[in-house]
Amino acid sequence: MIEVRHLQKSFGTQRVLDGVDMRIHEGESVVIIGRSGGGKSVLLKHLIGLLTPDSGEVLVDGVDIVHMNERDLIDVRRKFGMLFQGAALFDSMTVAENIAFALRRQQQCTEDEVREKVSEALALVELAGIEQKKPAQLSGGMRKRVGLARAIVYRPEILLYDEPTTGLDPIISDSIDQLIINIRQKLKVTSVAVTHDMRSARRIGQRIFMLYHGRIYASGTAEEIFASQDPVVHHFVNGISEPRQDLLEDF
C-alpha cells in the first residue's frame, strides 16, 4: 500500500504540490488526472523517491521513504516498475539489453534465464523478435512498449505509468491501454498512472484522483468522476475551456 500525507513541493518560488493526501491500496488501479504542468508527474516521482518533498510523507508498505538515502531506496525500488513519458530507454543498448538490465544487475538468473524472460516480456507487450534493434530504430509506440517490458520483466509489485499514451495516435493509445489492463490482470500488480487523456483514464482507472492547484481536488471511481457535476471536474473531464473574452477583445 502507498500512502501520501500532506506532501508539499516547490520549485523555486512555484509551489507545485500544496498538501497532497492520498492512499493507494494493494492491487488497485489508480489514475491521477489534472492539467498539464499541474504536478502529476512530480507526484508520481515522489512515490518512488525520485524527488524529495519539502515536507510531508510517502509511506510504501508502511515505511516512510522520504528520509531514506539513495542506497536504502534501492531495496524499496525493487518493488516498483516505472514507464516514463518518453520511455527513457538506454539508447546505447539494444532492446534486449534494455529489458535485461535489471535482471543482469541483480545477478540472480543465468544468461539463458535472462534471455527467456526477455522474450516472455517482449511477447507480453506484443513485440516479439525485436531483441537486437536499437531504441533509435523504434517508433514512439514501440518505445513505450519496450519501456513497459523493461518495467515488468522482474515482476514488480507496483507499476507507475507517466503519461503512457501521450503523443501516440488513438489506435496505439488504445493498444497501450489494453496492455496496461492485461498486465494488471495477469501480474496482479498495483497500478498508478498519471494522464490527461480522459479516454485512457476511464479505461484503466478503477479509482481516479484529480489534482488541482497542488491538492487532490476530487477522488472516486471512474463513473463517479465522469458523472460529477462539480464545475472544475466537469469542465476538465469533458475538456471544456473558458477562453478569456477580454483578451480576445483587446487583441
- Minimum distance from CB of 77 to another protein (Å)? 5
The count of chain residues that interact with another protein, using the rule CB under 8 A, is 28
- Which window, 79-87, 119-127, 180-188, 223-231, contacts another protein (CB under 8 A)? 79-87
Instruction: Name, in order, each residue with C-beta under 8 angstroms of 189's C-beta and a sequence gap of 6 or more.
Output: 27, 81, 152, 156, 157, 158, 159, 183
84 neighbors 93 (Cβ within 8 angstroms): no
Question: Given candidates 2, 80, 189, 194, which one binds another protein under the rule CB under 8 A?
Answer: 80
Q: Return d(Cα 128, Cα 120) in angstroms, integer.
A: 8
**Alpha helix positions (H), 12-139:** 40-47, 70-77, 95-106, 111-124
Question: Given candidates 61, 64, 75, 116, which one binds another protein under the rule CB under 8 A?
Answer: 75
- Which window, 69-77, 115-123, 172-180, 241-249, contacts another protein (CB under 8 A)? 69-77
Q: Is 108 exposed, middle or buried (0-12, 13-18, 19+ CB in 10 A)?
A: exposed
Establish if 88 lies at the interface with another protein (CB under 8 A). yes
- Minimum distance from CB of 43 to another protein (Å)? 15
3-class state of residue 161 by DSSP: strand
- Cβ-based nearer residue to another protein, 137 or 178: 137
Instruction: Name, in order, each residue with C-beta under 8 angstroms of 168's C-beta and a sequence gap of 6 or more.
Output: 140, 141, 144, 176
Cell numbers given for 166? 501521450
Establish if 85 lies at the interface with another protein (CB under 8 A). yes
Establish if 150 lies at the interface with another protein (CB under 8 A). yes
Establish if 82 lies at the interface with another protein (CB under 8 A). yes
Rounded to 5 degrees, what angle do the CA atoms 167, 173, 176 make?
Answer: 120
Write the binding mask 30 to 59 for another protein: x where contact by CB under 8 A, - elsewhere: ---------------x--xxx---------
- Minimum distance from CB of 89 to another protein (Å)? 8
Question: Given candidates 35, 52, 61, 105, which one binds another protein under the rule CB under 8 A?
Answer: 105
Phi, psi (degrees; rounded to nearest 5) at 126: 60, 45
Q: Return d(Cα 33, Cα 236) in angstroms, integer.
A: 9
Establish if 106 lies at the interface with another protein (CB under 8 A). yes
Establish if 81 lies at the interface with another protein (CB under 8 A). yes
Binding site for another protein (CB under 8 A): 45, 48-50, 70-71, 73-75, 77-78, 80-82, 84-86, 88-91, 101-102, 105-106, 150-151, 160
